[in-house]
Amino acid sequence: MHVAIIMDGNGRWAESRGLHRICGHKEGAKRVEEIVRYASTVGITNLTLYAFSTENWQRPSLEIQTLFQLIKLYLRKKVHVLKLENVKISFMGRRDQLPKSVVTEMHSSEAATQKCTGLQLNIAVDYGGRDEILRAVNKFMCANIATSSKIDEATLRKYSDLKDQPDPDLIIRTGGDQRLSNFMLWHAAYSELSFVDTLWPDFSVQELSSAMKSFDAQNRRFGTIPQVAE
Ligand code: FPP
């Protein structure tokens, strides 16, 4: 099962406690550690986390720097444990605008976990769904410059950031808003959507588990064509 999460509400979590927004991101990073650990144990095969969107560049530079620091710290601190737990790390999004130190950390964690065969963890950094589609089309056009071949669904998928991974079965958004905010626009075509009011730093493994249970129940009701008795 592929679960993708829009981790929203860090800023409000901090502000409601009279703290700076970056404290919310720091607390949010702790939830990332817990959720990744938990995902490995409950049959999630692919977990995608929206850590930094193409729109997040509009935030104050201190907040942007903190987010990159947290991502780097998470990778540096956790990559060995993730490798031991057989977690394979990949990234979605563009890399050409990211600080070099972030890209270096991304490369080394991908390389270190390349052969892992357990949970596939995707972290979306400088990611936007529209940008992903445009990059895929542009890559296709560059590769097919000499021909006039047209792009089809299977080919677009091949050039997308997820390549051979399945689309998310379930997309969870924390923080109360009910929209996708440019997340996995191509891949979300048939995903079940779950919007929860809980702010990301308060999101727990129990809530993930209950979102998965509702998904299972929904799937049992609508997922299969009932067998007609002969
Ligand atoms: C949205 O909350 C959250 C983000 C923009 C960043 C998410 C990042 C983390 C949880 C931590 C770092 C990630 C990893 C993978 C270690 P918001 O600030 O938009 O909240 P608001 O809607 O309350 O303002």
**CATH code of the domain covering residue 89:** 3.40.1180.10
Residues marked as catalytic: 8, 56
**pTM greater than 0.75 (yes/no):** yes
The verdict on residue 76 lying in a domain is yes
142 lies in some domain: no
Residue 41, domain extent: 2-127+167-214
In this structure, is residue 227 part of a structural domain?
Answer: no
The answer to whether residue 58 sits within a structural domain is yes
**pLDDT at residue number 1:** 96
| Residues 3/39, Cβ–Cβ less than 8 Å | yes
Can you state the angle between helices 61-84 and 100-113, rounded to 10 degrees? 20
- The confidence score (pLDDT) of residue 224 equals 53
Q: Read off the pLDDT of residues 149-195 as tens digits, 9 standing for 90 and up.
A: 889 999 999 999 999 999 999 999 999 999 999 999 999 999 999 99
User: Would residue 151 count as lying in a domain?
Assistant: no
The answer to whether residue 27 is domain-embedded is yes
For ligand 1, atom 10, which residue shows the shortest CA distance?
A: 28
For residue 143, give every residue at least 6 positions away whose Cβ sits within 8 Å of its Cβ, in sequence order, or none: none
The C-alpha angle with vertex 48 and arms to 171 and 14, in degrees rounded to 5, equals 80
Tell me the pLDDT tens digit for each residue of 55-93.
999 999 999 999 999 999 999 999 999 999 999 999 999
**Residue 47: band (very low, low, confident or very high) from pLDDT cuts 50, 70, 90:** very high
Q: Which ligand 1 atom is nearest residue 71's CA?
A: 16
In a domain, 224, yes or no: no
User: Which residues are CB-contacts of 136 (< 8 A; sequence separation ≥ 6)?
Assistant: 156, 159, 160, 186
Q: State the closest ligand 1 atom to the C-alpha of 49, by its place in the atom list counted from 1.
A: 15
In short, whether 8's Cβ falls inside 6 Å of ligand 1 is yes
Per DSSP (E only), the strands in 59-118 are 88-92
29: Cβ below 6 Å to ligand 1? yes
- How many domains does the chain divide into? 1
Amino acid at 5: I
In short, whether 159's Cβ falls inside 6 Å of ligand 1 is no
Does residue 121 lie within any of the structural domains?
A: yes
Does the beta carbon of 7 lie inside 6 Å of ligand 1? yes
